[in-house]
A and B are shown apart, each in its own frame.
Chain A
Amino acid sequence: MNEMIKIETTLKDWESDQEVRWCPGCGDYAILKAVQRTLPQIGADPANTVFVSGIGCSSRFPYYIESYGFHTIHGRAPAFATGIKLANPELDVWLVTGDGDGMSIGGNHTMHLLRRNLNCQIMLFNNEIYGLTKGQYSPTSRVGTTSPSTPMGSVDRPLSPCAFALGVNARFVARAFDVSKNLPEVLKAAHAHKGAAFVEIFQNCIVYNKDVFNDFAAPKGAEDQQLWLEDGQPMVFAKGARGIALDLDTLSLKVVDVVDGDWQGAGVLVHNVTNRAIAHMLVEMPFGPFPMALGVLYDDPRPTFEESVLEQNARDAEGKEPDLARLLAKGQTWTVEG
């Protein structure tokens, strides 16, 4: 985000006049509401906000927000956003993408936007399926996912978007899910981060991949499987009864029991959002033996791409007059007399 003038708005101000066309019950509705709830809280200005998306169910998102919106082409939203921010770094840019759009056809652009550290928020709606094309498996689908293109089950192993993001040098990585009450807080943290802020949002596709995240993201009863990370706080879950510790023999994470709230005694780690090595371990934790790591996993800002580019442009242009006539006559010239 930018140092911006805060504007007073309400949730209603962020609702466009467009009819929302997602399937009834789709997780996208909850994310839309969470975003519309977040924007007034951060003082965002609709005139200065741009939502940019690619193609897919998630990418219809910009139409439903009363701000500037650009629904582009499949996988390329990061490239459009890069041009937008370089042309006008004052704009507050949000990217909306999905697991197919952002990790498959657009994986290349996501990678480069993150490594360059373009100052924007990236919301990747991960439903582990291609929804808009009617249910083919995606690069985040689990092995064995049956779909119209994999009737016997998919055989290729999925990727983890957050592990990908860390791997390509993202400076902010967070995770949440559609119906979580914490989603606005995560989005606020993403917005507060200066630089590329990558947020994976597990999203329930109720038509093609219903409830695949229920083990940790069910509206009720899955809380014990959620590890909500907070900077400076111990990594405990299951109402404080369990925690994450570092096994010094194997240099890997382990789940430990916490008795009577004595997390220190159990060796539970304290979350430090700038610890990149632990962040790598958190995103790689296999769900099942471990809980799902949620919240801000990593947050350690670096100079942004556009400020570096524009600073260099300004330095290069300093003291030079934009004299077109002189530019055209550059190099060795000669005069033909009349």
Chain B
Amino acid sequence: MASVAEDRPADSMMEGATPEAVVVRFAGDSGDGMQLTGGQFTLSTALAGNDLATFPDFPAEIRAPQGTLFGVSAFQINFGSTAIETAGDAPDVLVAMNPAALKTNLAALKPGGLIIADTGEFNRRNLDKAKYDASPLEDGSLAKWDVLAFDISALTVEAVKPFGLGNKEALRCKNMWTLGLALWMFDRPRDPIYNWLRGKFAKSPELADANIAALDAGHAYGETAELAGPLKKLHIDPVESEPGLYRTITGAEAVSLGLVAGAQLARLPMFFGGYPITPASAILHNLVKMKEFGVTTFQAEDEIAAICSAIGASYAGQLGVTSSSGPGIALKGEAMGLAIMTELPLVIVNSQRGGPSTGLPTKTEQSDLYQAVFGRNGDAPMPVIAARSPADAFECAVEACRIATQYMTPVMLLTDGYIGNAAEPWKVPDPADFAPFPVSFLQEKNHGDQLLPFARDEKGARPWIKPGTPGLMHRIGGIEKNPGTGNIDYSPEAHQTMTEARRDKVLGVANSIPDQEVCLGEASGRMAVVGWGSTFGPIHQAVRRARRRGVDVAHIHIRHIWPLPKNLGELLKGYDHVLVPEMNTGQLKTVLRDQYLVDAKPLNKVSGQPFTIAEIEAAIEGALA
């Protein structure tokens, strides 16, 4: 979690001075609506002007058996009055809707933290399912935490009684009761939630009313309990932010908006070919609602057809886009090679997840860097960009569209499950601040009376020729071709020339990207911590804390994974130590060593959970000890 809250003594958060940041984790059964609760709490927190970061963590099963340890779904939010860059290491507050949720999340809770538990669910059956011999609420095992246990189930049923719901439906409102309590605790307005519930249940107003009643009851309970229990109301001041219009955004939303913006800046209609896969499907769901921007979406029969249709659309003059996650990206590999070979623009979004194979579908990892940079047959160079946060994914998607259309190449945009699902406040950009990069199609022969589909401009890019253009009929394909005419040509010279041309074109993208900046610290010194992707938050905070203690350490975060920024090699050589934390077994580390012969040291984590700040801090200490 951000800065100061981590640094204060680990005493009860409910006593003493108001903290600058708080971490709350909602945990319950998959069917308890924890992701909804978290999402709505996030919205109200954003509206209250706090900075925030979230971490939704849910099982791969849609409805895992009730009450089981593997069926627990959790949503963590870190919010505060200072800049927040991670979802927080250890929660201050754990809301446990059943014994399994308590058991699987307790270890993370900060000593002195607060547990809110629903005693209505701590019955023998659920205790057995969670493998508790005795109720932890009663056996003294929770002594180092504050415990606030009461029968949320019964209180909810009581609150929604006037609306005539069945018992099962009534219990479904539990999450709103809990949310009401949380809103009270942190002095959040209820209005946005009312509005959301009325919209969500527009067709059954009685459900909206019941949920609102549950929300209000939870809120009222807080006021009453304050008089007697350990519960105290906390007010977290708004963060100091740049003036402007803000909203919350998830990575999947940001990617979708960035793609639409990118296509608009290129002045192109966009075609999106996708196939359902966790966690990438959200992009398809978003884009399907943006038809007025010239977006056509196509749910293909498989991952291969998804990318092939996108390449077909690019060939016909639209901006083709496809997205997937590791296993789907693997299936698309051959088609990426064709896009490289025929030099057609294409954006491929990879929402990385734990691998290999099916791996950890709902957990996060950054282990597809090799696949993105190297994972195709032949010498198949392709630009690769990685987003570092949900909000950053917008600019990265625009950048992917720019490179794809200006260099006539497929581009891979890497996000991950964490970025895709997590939300953070986003200063809404003004589209006018982005320089347009309009595409022009070849309209007439480009070499006297001859057409040379593979003649190159100063960037090494070939012309884009739409079928339907009179007089420019030609054939393209995946077979090696003549450097000018594009006709089939297997000659040694043709393959040598074309392989080098494809390589140089992609390397030349480095001329159009900014120099690598140091995002925290000096441009040389004892240590640089070099990251990419969603490790930004914990690295940044860890470096900030180390610097506060006087350690000479800098944070460098790479957006352009391939080609790398031109100054990166020189920059890294200015540090005695280079530490590369990654949620894989050392992939960027290998690329940096290979490209620059620097002694980059890995720090790896592949547990499906993001790095904690403390882990990176310890690694910095360890490396400099």
Q: Which residues of A contact B (CB under 8 A)?
A: 16, 18, 46-48, 50, 52, 62-63, 66-73, 76, 78-84, 86-88, 90-91, 108-109, 111-112, 309-310, 313, 316-317, 320-322, 324-325, 327-338
Contact = CB atoms under 8 A, between A and B. Distances in A.
B437 to A, nearest CB: 15
Given A16-B475, A82-B312, A84-B467, A334 B338 contact: no
Contacts of B308: 72-73, 76, 79-80, 83, 109
B212 interface: no
Sort A-B residue pairs by CB-CB distance and give the 9 closest, nearest first: A83-B312, A71-B477, A338-B243, A79-B308, A83-B309, A69-B475, A68-B467, A87-B316, A79-B305
A331 to B, nearest CB: 5
Given A91-B468, A327-B290, A83 B429 contact: no
B467 A91 contact: yes
Contacts of A108: 301-302, 305
Given A83-B298, A324-B260, A324-B431, A333 B467 contact: no
B473 interface: yes
Contacts of A66: 473
B488 A18 contact: yes
Nearest to B269: A87
Chain B contact surface mostly = mixed
Given A66-B473, A88-B466, A328-B431, 6 more contacts: A70-B342, A84-B315, A328-B428, A331-B247, A332-B248, A335-B245
A324 B246 contact: no
B192 interface: yes
B261 A324 contact: yes
B247 A327 contact: no
A88 B192 CA distance: 43
Nearest to B475: A69
- The winner among A71, A80, A309 for most chain B CB atoms within 10 A is A80
Interface string B286-325: 0000111110101011101110111111111110100000
Given A313-B291, A320-B292, A109 B305 contact: yes
A70 B292 contact: no
Contacts of B428: 328-329, 333
B470 interface: yes
Nearest to A108: B301
B273 interface: yes
16 contacts: A70-B312, A70-B315, A72-B478, A73-B334, A73-B335, A73-B337, A79-B301, A79-B308, A88-B316, A109-B305, A309-B296, A322-B294, A324-B261, A328-B428, A331-B247, A334-B247
B345 to A, nearest CB: 12
Contacts of B305: 76, 78-79, 82, 108-109, 112
B248 A86 contact: no
Contacts of A86: 271, 296, 298, 309, 313
B475 A336 contact: no
Contacts, number: 198
Contact of B246 (A90, A316, A321, A336): A336
A90 B468 contact: yes
B38 to A, nearest CB: 16
B49 A334 contact: yes
B550 interface: no
Interface size class of B (residues with CB under 8 A): 35 or more
B246 A328 contact: no
Nearest to B293: A322
A317 B320 CA distance: 20
Nearest to B429: A328
B450 to A, nearest CB: 11
B283 to A, nearest CB: 15
A47 B428 CA distance: 44
A328 B475 contact: no
B471 interface: yes
Contacts of B192: 332
A70 B43 CA distance: 48
B476 interface: yes
A70 B476 contact: yes
B3 interface: no
Nearest to B294: A322
Given A327-B290, A332-B247, A337-B243, A84 B296 contact: no
Contact of B241 (A82, A109, A333, A336): A336
Contacts of B312: 52, 70, 79-84, 87
A78 B334 CA distance: 16
A80 B334 CA distance: 13
Contacts of B624: none
A18 to B, nearest CB: 6
- The winner among A50, A86, A328 for most chain B CB atoms within 10 A is A328
B245 A333 contact: yes
Nearest to B238: A336
A309 B273 CA distance: 13
Interface in B238-286: 238, 241-248, 257, 260-261, 264, 269, 271, 273
A78 B298 CA distance: 14
Given A72-B308, A72-B478, A87-B316, A46 B49 contact: no
Contacts of A46: 473
Contact of A87 (B293, B318, B470, B473): B318
A71 B473 contact: no
B468 A69 contact: no
Contacts of A313: 291, 296
A338 B243 CA distance: 5
A81 B311 CA distance: 10
B262 to A, nearest CB: 11
Interface in B192-208: 192
Given A47-B468, A324-B260, A336-B49, A69 B476 contact: yes
B516 interface: no
Contacts of A325: 430-431
Contacts of B242: 336
B469 A88 contact: no
B47 A334 contact: yes
A336 B313 CA distance: 41
B468 A88 contact: yes
A87 B313 contact: yes
A88 B296 CA distance: 11
A118 B322 CA distance: 20
A82 B310 CA distance: 9
Contact of B473 (A67, A310, A320): A67
- The winner among B238, B313, B342 for most chain A CB atoms within 10 A is B313
